[in-house]
Amino acid sequence: MACMPLVTSPPHFPVTAPRPAAGVLLPGRLDAEALHPALWRGHQFGRCAEPALASGFPVLDAQLPGGGWPHRVLTELLLPHPGVGEMRLLAPSLAATLRSGRLVMLFDPPATLSAWALAQLGLDAEQMLVVDGRSKVLPEASSLWALEQALRSGHVGAVLAWLPPRLRAERLRRLQLAAQAHDGPAFMLREMAARQLPTAAPLRLELQPAGADRLALHLLKRRGPPLAAPLRLALPPVLSAAARAKVAQLASVPTAQPLCAAAFVDLS
Amino acid sequence: MLWIALHLPLLSLESFAATLPPELRQMPLALVEARQIAQANASAQALGVKPGCKRATALGLAPRLVTAPADPLRDAQALQAVLHACLAFTPAVTVLPPSQALLEVQASLRYFGSLEPLLQRLGSALAPLGHAMQFASAPTAQGAALLSRMANVPAGLHCPDLRSLQTVLAAAPVELLGAGREHWEDLQGMGLRTIADLRRLPRAGLARRFGEALQGEIDRAFGERPDPRTWVSLTPTFEDRLELFASADTSEQVLHGAAVLLARLVAWLSAQHAFVRRFTLQLQHEARWRRSDTPPDTAIEIVLAAPSRDAAHLALLLRERLGRTQLVAPALELRLRADDIARAPPPNGELFPSALGEREGLTRLVERLQARLGRCQVQRLLRVHDHRPERSSALHEVDAGASPLLFGRPEAKRPGIDRHAQGTPITRPVWLIEPPQPLPDRRDQPLLDGMPLQLLSGPERIEAGWWDEGLAGRDYFIAKAPDDSLVWVYRLRLADLAPQARGWYLHGCFA
């Protein structure tokens, strides 16, 4: 095949319609998009037939293939620890799911949930189900079984699951297969160490706090070109304007040195 | 009148096979009566085992032959389930022992359209019971019964009017007649091969020689004598038992036996168009080795959130429960009992996914999760009006059946939810740390992992609970952790009340 210059168009969004003149096989150039809906070029976003659920953050939506959280696949979120702003990131999409009358299920939340805090995020906690599979004899098997059942049933609107640490890759692949029946986003929250391991989920994000009420999002994997710089999102604020000013003022002052561990020597 | 007759030629063998574990069901099987083979299945007959040969001969031909005594009671139980399944189509069902069921369907024809769809529905309703069947339909009950024994074709023999029935019956061989069975060799010897030959004989002489029963059977089959029948009635509660051929050691084996009973339960339910709310499976255990005491029966009660008649769903719930139950000893006999039923209109079949279908699917999902994980592991989070954060949320177990409101309420707008979502700052952390984690402090500044926390907002005083045990007097602050995440810490106010519990505590993380 003759070497033809690739069209260097920026990734357009939403990529629903094929590019102009696609659908016709140009002489000498194979049009990948015209061949199969699952094919895309490296500089484009993957197309998905399923509608995606808007995340509520336009900056993020612009970078997600399909323009939001994808349906029928797993979305992996890697967190250093619970409490970096993950619920504030997901709250707008979960609230939209609840408003459309569908169920949100939480599996194995890592700490006690506060119903009033969820209400402040716009989530009606009473319409959500919390499933805890960890108290059983085989906690991992029970949790994953319950999660798989929920995904496979296809009746749940959105799923949030805190996966057990050091999960084997084939378990995740099994969940990914089950998620194909799940018409909604499925968020798998995992520990940061999983970053080094391959994943079956087509979308993987890393969440890091970046200042008070800010979140840095690294898109580690998506159906599309890699994104070098992390996205910085302004989360719904916890702090008042005065407190934010205090943070800015503190940031200009050199921060206190961490405590050095004292060395005790037994002199006796 | 139009009668459908069902003949189950292999009823005894099939009712015996139901008591076997599934890997044995394909083995050569035979039923023994008075040390002679009474019936043998196809794989036994392929080895040369024939009905009528001695048990010892049969075992010589097929050493792995599984034999068991014929049990009329077991057959009657299996036939009972078939009758129940038939009752869903007409109230006029009668039984002709040992292996026939008769249905009067003239009045049901208009509802089902015609005979053909009715037979199709009947066939699919009887399929879960797993019997080989021969169908026939005729204007007289006895005639249909005779035809069904004759009809060895899948579509069955159907005679819509009396004239065609009489023609077919006249040509039928005499061995079809139940009442003439004991005289069959005599009849053969007299050169009487068909029923027409019998009918040509003088009636008085025939009755004197072979009994009134034979004459009566022929007359009723040809529609020349009235044929009153008594209808099968339903028991108010379902109770059935299955004695297992080999004791069940694993829950998988128990489930195979229970599946037979569940199919019968579904037949009983469909007879009265009802759905089961709760049922109990009782396992009778065998006595332990060299111990006189038999372990007490294990009873497994399944309570359904939504009444159901779906055998697969019931089996699934039973499987999850059995997976959690430890069998104290191998099970010898299974008993299934159901008396709590709900009569409801049948569910509508839906072509496209709808809200109703989704709610039903969710109810089933919750049921399944609760069956395996336990009822209290599937919970809803409720808001409680209490200022103390640890008491302001409560987890309650979900009752999927009692709260259909739970799912799918697009119009349900709760007060306070949307108002809070409009840009007001979030003041409570999603994650609460229970119990609060004590923090060390240096120069009155709390430390987290050896690093000082920067207090950004506060104090917010929460002082409540003087009326109960959980007295709390705390000043809450929002603080920034070294890695820029926000945490919620408090300082105890009433240090003098609890001197050992003073200082700083970490109580939540803003997620």
Task: Say whether pLDDT at B493 is over 80.
Answer: no
* Of B187 and B83, more confident: B83
CA-derived radius of gyration, chain A: 22
Q: Quick check: helix, strand or coil at residue A156?
A: coil
For residues B118-132, average pLDDT: 90
For B422-473, how does the pLDDT look when each residue is reduced to its tens digit (9 = 90+)?
Answer: 556 788 899 999 888 888 888 778 888 888 888 888 788 888 888 887 778 8
Mean pLDDT of B289-304: 80
Q: Does B432 touch chain A (CB under 8 A)?
A: yes
Q: Which of B162-176, B344-358, B370-384 has the lowest mean pLDDT?
A: B344-358
Tell me if chain A has a CB within 8 Å of the CB of B373.
Answer: yes
SS3 B450: coil
Angle of helix B72-87 relative to helix B251-271, nearest 10 degrees, comes to 50
A83 with B487: Cβ contact below 8 A? yes
What is the pLDDT confidence band of residue B420, given thresholds at 50, 70 and 90? very low
Cβ-based contacts of A103 with chain B (< 8 Å): 362, 406-408
**What local confidence, expressed as pLDDT, does residue B261 receive?**
93
The residue that leads in pLDDT, B228 or A4, is B228
Strand-pair partners of A77: A189, A205
Percent of chain B whose predicted confidence (pLDDT) is above 90: 15
CB-based contact, B344 to chain A, within 8 Å:
no
Q: Name the A residues in 102-131 with CB < 8 Å from any B CB.
A: 102-103, 109-131
- Per-residue model confidence as pLDDT tens digits over B317-343: 898 888 888 888 888 899 999 988 888
Which of A89, A104, A127 best probes binding to B when mutated, by most B CB atoms within 10 angstroms?
A127
Q: What is the ipTM of this complex?
A: 0.78
- Chain A nearest-CA distance from B171, in A, is 57
CB pairs under 8 A between A and B: 218
B55 interface with A at CB cutoff 8 Å = no
Q: Do B383 and A115 touch (CB under 8 A)?
A: yes
Considering chain B, what is the average pLDDT of its residues?
84
Q: What is the structure's pLDDT at B499?
A: 59
According to the model, what pLDDT value does residue B290 have? 65
- Find the helix packing angle between A169-179 and A139-153, rounded to 10°: 20
* Cα–Cα dist B81/B101, whole Å: 11
- Phi (first) and psi of residue B194, to 5 degrees: -115, 165
Which A residues in the span 215-234 are in contact with B, Cβ-Cβ below 8 Å? none
Contact B377 A131 (CB under 8 A): yes
Sequence-distant (≥ 6) Cβ neighbours of residue B403 within 8 angstroms: none
Asked if pLDDT for residue B238 goes beyond 50, the answer is yes
Residue B263: predicted pLDDT:
93
Locus of tokens 């998620």: A179
| Selection from A85, A74, A264 nearest residue A181 by Cα | A74
Q: In angstroms, what separates the C-alpha of B359 from chain A's closest C-alpha?
A: 8
pLDDT in tens, chain A (268 residues): 344 444 444 444 444 444 444 444 455 566 666 777 777 777 777 766 667 888 889 888 888 888 889 999 999 999 998 888 899 999 999 999 988 888 899 999 999 999 888 888 888 888 889 998 776 666 678 888 899 999 988 888 999 999 888 888 888 999 999 999 898 999 999 998 888 888 888 899 999 988 878 889 998 888 888 888 888 888 888 888 788 888 878 777 655 555 555 555 555 5
Q: Residue A117 class from Cβ within 10 Å (0-12 exposed, 13-18 middle, 19+ buried)? A: buried
pLDDT of residue A75: 93
A217, A79 contact by CB (below 8 A): no
Q: Are strands A158-162 and A104-107 parallel, antiparallel or unpaired?
A: parallel
Tell how far CA A63 is from the center of its chain: 12
- CA B270 to each of CA A25, B78, B234, B339, B433: distance values in angstroms, whole numbers, following the listed order: 60, 16, 11, 14, 52
- pLDDT over threshold 50, residue B100: yes
- What per-residue confidence (pLDDT) applies to B402? 54
Find, in chain B, the residue whose alpha carbon is nearest to that of A146: B369
Q: How many residues does chain B have?
A: 511
